[in-house]
Structure 1
Amino acid sequence: MRKKRLCMVGAGRVGRLHTRNITERVGHRAEVAAIVDPDRRTAEELAGDYDVSVVCSSLDEALEGGDFDGVVITTPTFTHHPLAVRALDAGLHVHLEKPMAMNLRECAEIKASAERAGAALQVGFMRRFDHDFIQAAELLRGGAIGAPVIIKSLTHGPGLPPPWANDIRTSNGMLAEVNSHDLDTVGWFADSAPVDIHVRVANFKGAARGVSTEHFYDTMLATIAFESGALASIAGVCPADYGYDARVEVTCTGGMVQVGEAGPAGLVSISAGEARRCAPVFASWRDRFAEAYVREMAEFVAATDGAPVRVGAEDGTRAVALVLAGTLSMLEERTVSLTEVTSPAFVPSWQAAARSEA
């Protein structure tokens, strides 16, 4: 059987991770046939490391000169919409990193392009591919411990994100870039539609790290209510300095389930640079979800042959809606109903692109 030819768009950390996993772990089924990045030097370095012969500065350049089965998009959030639509309109299957897009108009246009093309669209929520998270979701769906009552999810990142991700105008902020994984997870585990969200934020380290962007925050706490009556809390800290931390606890009517540890063997207490009574803390999301990322690419390759997509446009759109409602809550210091941001009349006022197209 012919190997699937994939075009990797973005040669940064995630692009490098996916390129390595496809080459080393999924190489019997697929190959990275081209690397695309406007930073030619970075693209050539990645291509050289994994023997990829084609390097391009744009997706258009790659599509003009190559024949591909799918495209993996790992670029900054504000570029997702044009790149995904371009690839889907060319009839290619797409893996699109989270967040799906900047706003709901972009999400709708991406989804419509996928439907017109009859192409697979997979959104990069890697927790959906993690064995422990999958087992937890199956346990909750099975009803053995009753219905979810309270879901507590956290993601703490070890360092500052790239500069563009610190600006809500180009990223929707930490709620999108770090905690959209939590937004997806709590909805997945609750198995219910979100009703409203309230977000509080703080900025403890920005000034000391040289970040002066308006509305920057490094600490976030959100509460979400679901139609089922379940409640969720999401905590985010980035940079947390001590390492990467992703955990979820679900209390149900008949029991509870916990997913995730801060390190391979958990921990009792930690401080920056020191861990007590535990194994080392995960240094990065690449370590914590190493196998999930492999499975993610394996399932995307399978989707190019018609296999079902585990997490797609509907899930990606729901997370973006929560991001928009949460950002509005942060800016206006109030609880925001999801119906406010899903209304056709809603325009994210903090997004220049959204304002210009309204």
Structure 2
Amino acid sequence: MRIGLIGAGAVADFHVAAARAIDGASITAVCDIDEKAAERAAATAPRATAFTDYRAMYASGLIDGVVVNTPHALHLPMVTEAARAGLHVLVEKPMATTLEDCDAMMAACVEADVALAVGHIQHFMPDKLAARDLIETAELGDVVLIRDYRSTDYRPGSRSGWFFSPQMAGGGALINIGGHCLDRSLWFGGGRAVEVFASTVNRFDSAVETDGNIAMRLDNGVGVSISVISDPPLRADSLLVVCERGVIVADPRAGTSVQVDGKRRVVREPRPDDIQSAFTAQMADFVAVANGAEPAVPLEHARHVVELVLASYRAAEIGGAVQLEGAAVGAAER
């Protein structure tokens, strides 16, 4: 499978290395509006061609699929045009900035008979997989409560300018970093959210929220609390899963541990290549989906994450809970 990469930013090297590690896959083209960035990333992939126009890359005949790693609002045109060009698509999270865009992307890929996968990397992180494996043994009983906390840095100048554009990013810390938290909290919670309450703060004179809290109730009764805090004195990335007979903590820096009846044990230690192994597993999943397999991250799950980000913004605006009625149905399933 010949893969093109749009966006030669921070995670481009992970995508290139992932393709190089998989039999039957390779990065054959890289596109970025910054020509030097495109050429740098292309140089890390043997025989890859650099582009500054994604449409030219689509028309080049050099690729069978594409990884869309661009500002959030650009996902819709890049995905739908890739579908029309007959290309399979892996689009980074968040899937889009509106539910209408999510539906249009799914419908375009169904109509063109090409594969669509959404890059929710948390589903492939080794510390999270170790926690999921432990839960599936039934040793701890059912999940009853989830608490998720991540630090970030949303000071202007700390990241590319588009992250601070409400139009281009669709929001701030909650749609970006909070998207990871919503993804993994729903995954471990095993249900869909039916009620959302949230609060947001715009610090540093930012046009988008820099910090936020989300509280959710899932349809199976599991309660979820999420906090995303910008520029705290200590960095954190901690997912705490309370089960009937024990508590699991999954943290990419500290690994995965569990406590049962006062006794703690380490389930998995962190390793230096954990992030790369996650990107490699995600790329392998994309190749499998292009060959007819079901994606590790269902499209409806990815759409629900976007739905919850938008519900969180509404809840923060009105200062009250937002109710979600049943399971939203994407265009591809109507």
TM score, norm. by length of structure 1? 0.79
CA 1:116–1:339 in 2, change beyond 3 Å: closer, same or farther? Answer: same
Which position in structure 2 is the counterpart of 1:17? 14
Which position in structure 2 is the counterpart of 1:41? 36
1:193 Cα offset (Å): 1.3
1:67 Cα offset (Å): 3.6
Which position in structure 2 is the counterpart of 1:71? 66
Which position in structure 1 is the counterpart of 2:264? none
Partner secondary structure for residue 324 of structure 1: helix
Between the two proteins, the alignment pairs up a number of residues equal to 313
1:301 Cα offset (Å): 2.1
Residue 319 of structure 2 is aligned to residue 337 of structure 1: no
**RMSD of aligned residue pairs (Cα, Å):** 2.7
Do the aligned residues in 2 keep the contact of 1:121 with 1:312 (CA within 8 Å)?
no
Q: Which moved more, 1:180-189 or 1:58-67?
A: 58-67
Partner secondary structure for residue 289 of structure 1: helix
Which position in structure 2 is the counterpart of 1:213? 206
Return the letter of the residue paired with 2:162.
Answer: W
Q: Please give the residue correspondences for 1:245-324 in structure 2 after superposition, counting only pairs within 5 Å.
A: 245-260=236-251, 262-263=253-254, 289-324=275-310
In 2, the alpha carbon distance for the partners of 1:10 and 1:325 equals 29
Do the aligned residues in 2 keep the contact of 1:120 with 1:309 (CA within 8 Å)?
no
In 2, the alpha carbon distance for the partners of 1:259 and 1:84 equals 33
TM score, norm. by length of structure 2? 0.85
CA 1:261–1:310 in 2, change beyond 3 Å: closer, same or farther? Answer: closer
Which position in structure 2 is the counterpart of 1:147? 142
Residue 191 of structure 2 is aligned to residue 192 of structure 1: yes
Which position in structure 1 is the counterpart of 2:163? 165
For residue 216 of structure 2, the aligned residue among 216, 221, 224 is: 224
Return the letter of the residue paired with 1:196.
Answer: E
Partner secondary structure for residue 72 of structure 1: strand
CA 1:139–1:263 in 2, change beyond 3 Å: closer, same or farther? Answer: closer
1:309 Cα offset (Å): 1.2
Which position in structure 2 is the counterpart of 1:126? 121
Which position in structure 2 is the counterpart of 1:356? none
CA 1:93–1:239 in 2, change beyond 3 Å: closer, same or farther? Answer: farther
1:311 Cα offset (Å): 0.8
Q: Structure 1 vs Structure 2: percent identity of aligned residues?
A: 26
In 2, the alpha carbon distance for the partners of 1:117 and 1:188 equals 29
1:93 Cα offset (Å): 1.3
In 2, the alpha carbon distance for the partners of 1:343 and 1:30 equals 33
Which position in structure 2 is the counterpart of 1:352? none
Partner secondary structure for residue 11 of structure 2: helix
Return the letter of the residue paired with 2:206.
Answer: T
In structure 1, the gaps of 5 or more residues are 267-281, 345-358
Partner secondary structure for residue 59 of structure 2: helix
Return the letter of the residue paired with 1:213.
Answer: S
Do the aligned residues in 1 keep the contact of 2:250 with 2:256 (CA within 8 Å)?
no
CA 1:200–1:311 in 2, change beyond 3 Å: closer, same or farther? Answer: same
Do the aligned residues in 1 keep the contact of 2:93 with 2:118 (CA within 8 Å)?
yes
Do the aligned residues in 1 keep the contact of 2:127 with 2:252 (CA within 8 Å)?
no
Do the aligned residues in 2 keep the contact of 1:218 with 1:239 (CA within 8 Å)?
no
For residue 95 of structure 1, the aligned residue among 90, 93, 96 is: 90
1:261 Cα offset (Å): 5.0
Do the aligned residues in 1 keep the contact of 2:196 with 2:315 (CA within 8 Å)?
yes
Q: Which moved more, 1:145-154 or 1:253-262?
A: 253-262
1:218 Cα offset (Å): 2.3
